[in-house]
Structure 1
Amino acid sequence: MTTEGTTAPDGAPRGAGELPYGADELPHSADKLPRGAGTQEYVATSSMIGLADRFDDIATGRDQVPRVPVRSTIRDAVRDRRLLDYQDAMVERSGPLFQHFLASVPGILEEMSRVGVALSRLIERRSAAEPRDFTFYEADAFDGTNGRTLASFSRGRIKTLTSSPNKANEPWFHRYADPAVSRYFPESLFRLTARTLHERDEYAPFRGGVDFLYETAAFQFYGKERAAQIDHVAGLLRPDGLAFFLEKLNHPDPQEYQRRERVKDEVHKAAYFTPADIARKRRQMLQRMTDGQVEFDDLVGALGDRFNHVHVIWHATNFYEFVASDDAERLAEFLELAGEPLIPEEFRFEDASARRVGGREREGAV
């Protein structure tokens, strides 16, 4: 995914995350962001910043704290001890905002654990042929719980980087992180570029691009410009890398969207929050959050314009997870190791099996 061999005016290699119109602009085209939209303004006017006070209240534990820790309701269906250990570690070493996230998204604890264990096994298999450190970047991912857990379970073979513009997340990251294997970028994902990685020594492990990147439902807090948003993070990816996108999507039928929302609130969230908490969040945050959501076909189209292969690999209520790559072999290897998702039945509204949904290469390819 990087454009190796070219050089930026300041001498840093152009490629991973480098913005083609200068350090303070985002990529643009007729269907992306307006020409000249500065990164600083784009971030400053976003819901990510507009909701900063609400996020701060949650990240500091002042508000919207789950009544009990999140625990999978389908543990008895899991035969993989490593997967259960991953779930437990994720819950036990997380800050308040990530705990809130787990309590808000049905099935995401099971799914992030499935992906993390599969990536750990993938690099174990690959390490003999590629004796190097692997890298993982999670974009605007709270206090880095997902990345930190992956770094630990891979025994440091996967170095992880987390970005977050919410200052209240950073103390929780440092409380639990091993600085030898996990790093933190305390700003928006749109402020992280190849230049950042090359100029700051603490990000040296990621200068060659990342093997895996994970967008943690962050794009919707900036807007609907998925083509430009994807283009930005994909620029940080190695040519054979895997990119994961967790998104809450609109539905063509508004009534169906609301039906799924009711199940999310009344079955999953009700186990962790009071009805008053759920209603208050809906009033204070959800409208701005939904303003940046897109539909399934819109996201798949944007991913397919950027990657050769796009698979949907998980679904629960209105949430979906995709993996995209230009490397068919590495993608197939990951899918084999991941297996099929385990999703509580009440949150499954359509086919949840992993399947190809788009990409630049011909149909029939992985």
Structure 2
Amino acid sequence: MTNRPATDVDAYLQQSSMIRLARQFEQLATGAAQVPRQPVLTRIRNRIADADVLEYHDRLVPKAGPLFSHFLASIPGILEEMSRVGVALSRLSRPRAESSGRPCLLYEIDAFDGSNARTLAAFSGGAVKTLTCSPNKANEEHFDRFADPALSRFVPMSFLKLDQDVLRTLVDDEDFHGGFDYIYETAAFQFYGKDRDFQIEQGCRMLRDDGLVFFLEKLNHTDRLEYERRERVKDEQHKAHYFTLEEIEWKRQQMLLRMYEGEVLLDELVSSIGRHFSHCYLLWNSTNFYEFVASNDGQRIEEFVRLLGPPLIEDQFVFEQPMLRKVLERAHG
């Protein structure tokens, strides 16, 4: 499904879990519910040899808003993974920003209060400037509290409504008017349903021709028992550090059952990615969560992958081997 009229996009949005769960998201974003009982910090610090990854981690955690802190407490290893990817993007961007005379630009799709984007902008010394959107306006307060407006901006709307024309109207920084070098989907698509082709088209319409797009997704599994086994590992060996059993069950009943309705299989996601991009890597896996990077520029994606350090996650959460692998490569066009 492509090129839906604006009225259809409005109807699509109103029927989505992103809107139907707005009250629950408001509770999480304001810290009224599901607040981790201790700060989310890496439990494998002694395994992280790259000092830059540790520095990124140490910048990210203290300035995270309530919903992003909840997100970190909910997904095993995502804190370390975002730190690893952030460092790689910074290293990729600095020489390019210097040679081109312009910053690289990252767009976070429906990414809470922009905690990760703000961290990347600051860590890169402005080599990367960032834009975050979110349909939950409660996130804007925490973005404004910590963001450097010279480097990071926030738009309080769903990615479905945000295109280049809207961006030019809402954001006065002309750096953001020419398209993005990087786009990162922060586990957003599952809240809109299973139509990944349409979601990818809408989310990536502002990506530059040689850009990279990241998909962080919670995926379904052909074996429901295996899916549930991975959920138990996540809940018992990660979430239990931060939430009570009652809080974990509240989340399952209030949100996860609706989220499940929008999850797709790994092969389904890769097929949808392949209808838009010619190259794709699986970068990371944690229980039912997966992260991919895709591009139509083979040289660019290979350069990024070379800059990535080793995966930083405890073995019990990894269910895909090899974790880093090419899942798509073809001649574009």
- Which category describes the TM-score, using the shorter chain as reference length? over 0.9
Q: Which residue of 1 aligns with 2:80?
A: 110
Partner of 1:127: helix, strand, or coil? helix
TM-score (norm 2): 0.96
- Partner residue, 1:286: 256
CA contact 1:162–1:185 (8 Å) conserved in 2: yes
| Offset of residue 21 of structure 1 | 5.2
1:264 counterpart (230, 234, 243): 234
Residue 3 of structure 1 is matched in structure 2 by none
How far does the alpha carbon of each residue in 1:257-310 deviate from its partner, in whole angstroms, 9 at most, with x for none? 000000000000000000110011111111111110000000000001100101
Selected match of 1:186 from 151, 156, 164: 156
- Find the residue that maps to 2:160 and give its secondary structure: helix
Residue 50 of structure 1 aligns with an amino acid whose one-letter code is R
Q: Is the contact between residue 247 and residue 319 of structure 1 (CA under 8 Å) also seen in structure 2?
A: yes
SS of residue in 2 equivalent to 1:166: coil
How far does the alpha carbon of each residue in 1:315-353 deviate from its partner, in whole angstroms, 9 at most, with x for none?
A: 010000000001111111110111331111110112143
Q: If the length of structure 1 is used for normalisation, what is the TM-score?
A: 0.88
Q: Distance in 2 between matches of 1:280 and 1:232?
A: 32
Number of equivalent positions: 331
Contact 1:313 1:352 in 2 (8 A): no
Corresponding residue for 1:44? 14
In the TM superposition, structure 1's runs of 4+ consecutive aligned residues that sit over 4 Å from their partners are 19-22
- CA positional deviation for 1:130: 2.0
Q: How far has the Cα of 1:127 moved from its partner?
A: 3.0
2:69 is matched with which residue: 93, 99, 104?
A: 99
Offset at residue 198 of structure 1 (A): 2.6
2:20, 2:136 → 1: CA distance? Answer: 11
CA shift at 1:73, angstroms? Answer: 1.3
Corresponding residue to 2:306 among 336, 346, 350: 336
Q: Which runs of 5+ in 2 are unaligned?
A: none
Q: 1:201 to 1:286 in 2, by over 3 A?
A: closer
Distance in 1 of aligned mates of 2:138 and 2:87: 28
Matches for 1:49-60 after TM superposition, within 5 Å: 49-60=19-30
The answer for the alignment partner of 2:191 in structure 1 is 221
What amino acid sits opposite 1:263 in the alignment?
V
How far apart are the structure 2 equivalents of 1:157 and 1:193?
A: 23
Q: Match for 2:31: what amino acid?
A: G
* Separation (CA, whole Å) in 2 of partners of 1:237 and 1:224: 22
- Cα offsets for 1:8-53 (capped at 9, x unmatched): xxxxxxxxxxx8455x16xxxxxxxxxxxx1111111110011111
Q: Give the superposition deviation at 1:237.
A: 0.3
Q: Give the aligned partner of residue 140 of structure 1.
A: 110
Indicate conservation of the 8 Å contact 1:248/1:318, yes or no: yes
Q: Sequence identity of aligned pairs in percent?
A: 54
Could you tell me which amino acid in structure 1 is paired with residue 280 of structure 2?
A: V
Q: Secondary structure at the match of 2:99?
A: coil
Instruction: Report SS of the residue matched to 1:202.
Output: coil
Q: Secondary structure at the match of 1:65?
A: coil
Q: Is the 8 A contact 1:260 1:318 kept in 2?
A: yes
Q: Structure 1, residues 98-136: CA drift from partner, whole Å, max 9, x if none?
A: 000000011000000101000000112323432211100
Corresponding residue for residue 38 of structure 2: 68
